[in-house]
A and B are shown apart, each in its own frame.
Chain A
Amino acid sequence: MAVLDFINFYLVPGLVLGSIYAIGAIGITMVFGILRFAHFAHGDLATMGAYLALAAVVLLGANPWIALPIAMAAAAALAIGIDRAFYEHLRERPRIVTVMASLGVALMLRSVVQVVWGVDPVTYQRGIVRPDEYFGILLRPRELYTLLSLIVIVVALSAFLKMSKWGKAMRAMSDNPDLALLSGVDNRRVTILTWAIVGALCAASGFMLGVNTELNSMMGWHLLLPMFAAAILGGVGRIEGAVLGGFIVGVVEELSVLVLPGHYKAAVAFAILLLILLVRPRGLLNGKVL
């Protein structure tokens, strides 16, 4: 039974947490790879997405999982708007200036959440859900849906990037923006499309965290470090890398409670980040180094 205990108490929670990190890290790795800067508003955009879903739940009385696509669409539009308003005019300046602007956007998004929804934690649905048993493995429906959502997102996104015209354009821009421009790729449109996908992914990761725990105005900010650790661990620019990185960070965080006090979980992501930068900055799957 020791193996089942390990799976139920450490591996499953770690993989669920890892999926949430992975969904966020895919967005981070896309901005990092295609637009070439570290997007610090990512976590707070996730918070905003989670609260947009809450608004949909409250206004429409809908099931949270139906509110998810609405929140993703709204966050996608918001991300494009943020790019238009705050990042676009900085494109000719050193990229680090855009990083700074994104830190400002993070603060702005968070204060909007705090003004509109307050600072007290809330949940989508009340009540305790009992886990179902699958061959001895205990899974709550929401955990199962989280894992399935990650799979759907990764498959859909990979297919889009590999097969569609715009997906290829995005990969071309990630590999070499000047060459892509010369080959007739419309950088502006690719940028807008990237933000749409990234915004939707942000909302999804914030929502998953909200469904599995609770919503509060700092939730996204606390996701930022593990998401960056996951993206860099997997290799910047690599979707599969972000997923692998997310799972590793999630599982190691859950396992860390065996040796560290629980409140130091956040330090685990930081340690992984420093370690990978020290020994293999390209990440496990050979990503980019900026």
Chain B
Amino acid sequence: MELIGLANYAVFIAILIGIYALLSLGLNIQWGFTGLFNAGIAGFFAIGAYTSAILTSPHVAGRVGGFELPIVVGWAGAIAMAAAIAWPIGRICLRFRSDYLAIATIGVAEIFRLVIKSEDWLTGGSRGITGIPRPFGDFDYMASQLAYLALVVLAVVAVYLLVERQLRAPWGRMMRAIRDNEHAAAAMGKRVEARRLQAFIFGCALMGFAGALFVHFNRSITPEAIDPMIATFLIWIMLILGGSGNNRGAILGAVVIWLIWSISELLTDRLPTEVAIQAKYIRVFIIGLMLQLVLRFRPEGILPEERRKEAAQPRTATNA
């Protein structure tokens, strides 16, 4: 029995790692390749999660919804909603240095947290939304988990390949040029603001998609499901530790950090209750400290960004 429990837990962890890998890839588009500081990742994740939940869940008295649309429509809705909220924010803030974007994204996450908590008619308030359908949900437990894992892995691989392809294309080269020297890129005729907006929206849409994948896995969502600061911060440390600017690094970071985070949770849960609560905050402290150590001693992460050939021969580089 112990073995089956362990296998169940491993599959559960693997699914969450896949979802975090998507978030980390989304952040990599924003930070790793464009240099944009998104401090409201959990907000866009929650926007995606709630949008898909509302579109696909059955009717409950006193709450809007009961659309019971197909799950794929929920996903598309989640992506569209996250992008639609990212657009005006990016439009206003991307004219300035990324500090302003960081403040504004914190604002988005905070306000969406308020909306989730207080708008019962939309989000079910503190009761949240339940009865959210899951693809392959009618299989028996283990088969259903494995099928969902396959789905998540498929999503990660697909997103990874698409992003890699995009970044090897002239578009990716242009984005790195803007990140490394925006004035030079602007002088070459690149529309810096518009490109940054693209990257910001693209990243946020991916975060919304990750939220949708999470909500259909969990089958329910409440305001307590996501702690905005801790979730956002975990994704940041995943990307920085894994190697920002490197998609494989982003995925590796998600694996490493989520394993550390869940295993340390298993350990602290065994402590007596009085100590367990404090241990929870000490874990957060250690994650914060870890970021400082990585920034100081290995800022390029485990898998640094690959220096491509054209970077070594600037004179022969062609315009994108």
Contact = CB atoms under 8 A, between A and B. Distances in A.
A108 B289 contact: yes
Interface string A246-276: 0000000000000001011011011001100
Interface in A36-67: 37-38, 40
Interface in B275-294: 278, 281-282, 284-285, 287-289, 291-292
Given A96-B35, A263-B114, A111 B295 contact: no
Given A90-B295, A99-B99, A277-B96, A266 B114 contact: yes
Contacts of B127: none
B72 to A, nearest CB: 33
B295 A225 contact: no
Given A96-B37, A261-B118, A277-B100, A103 B110 contact: no
Contacts of B229: 106-107, 221
B96 A108 contact: no
Interface stretch (B101-109, B162-170, B201-209, B215-223): B101-109
Given A99-B37, A108-B285, A273 B104 contact: yes
A224 B102 CA distance: 12
Interface residues of B, number: 41
A274 B296 CA distance: 33
Contact of A100 (B89, B118, B236): B236
A277 B295 CA distance: 30
Interface string A93-118: 11111011101111110111011000
B93 A107 contact: no
B292 A101 contact: yes
Main secondary structure of the interface of B (DSSP, over half): helix
A197 to B, nearest CB: 20
A14 B78 CA distance: 38
A119 B99 CA distance: 29
A289 interface: yes
Interface in B96-150: 96-100, 102-104, 106-108, 110-111, 114, 117-118
Contacts of B118: 261, 263-264
A114 B93 contact: no
Contacts of B157: none
Task: Point out which of B35, B291, B296 has the most chain A C-beta atoms below 10 A from its C-beta.
Answer: B291
A199 to B, nearest CB: 18
A85 B233 CA distance: 20
A115 B278 contact: yes
Contacts of B281: 111, 114-115
Contacts of A278: 92
A126 interface: no
A290 interface: yes
Contact of A107 (B97, B287, B295): B287
B39 A101 contact: no
Given A115-B281, A225-B103, A103 B236 contact: yes
Given A263-B114, A270-B107, A104 B291 contact: yes
A221 B97 CA distance: 22
B34 to A, nearest CB: 11
DSSP class of A's interface residues: helix, strand, loop or mixed? helix
A105 B288 contact: yes
A228 interface: yes
Contact of B96 (A85, A90, A225, A290): A290
B93 A277 contact: yes
A32 B296 CA distance: 22
A89 interface: yes
25 contacts: A37-B99, A40-B39, A95-B99, A97-B299, A104-B291, A104-B295, A105-B292, A107-B229, A107-B233, A107-B284, A108-B284, A108-B288, A108-B289, A111-B282, A112-B285, A114-B281, A115-B281, A225-B106, A232-B100, A261-B118, A263-B117, A266-B111, A273-B104, A277-B92, A290-B96
Interface of B: 35, 37, 39, 89, 92-93, 95-100, 102-104, 106-108, 110-111, 114, 117-118, 229-230, 233, 236, 240, 278, 281-282, 284-285, 287-289, 291-292, 295-296, 299
Interface of A: 32, 37-38, 40, 85-86, 89-90, 93-97, 99-101, 103-108, 110-112, 114-115, 221, 224-225, 228, 232, 261, 263-264, 266-267, 269-270, 273-274, 277-278, 281, 289-290
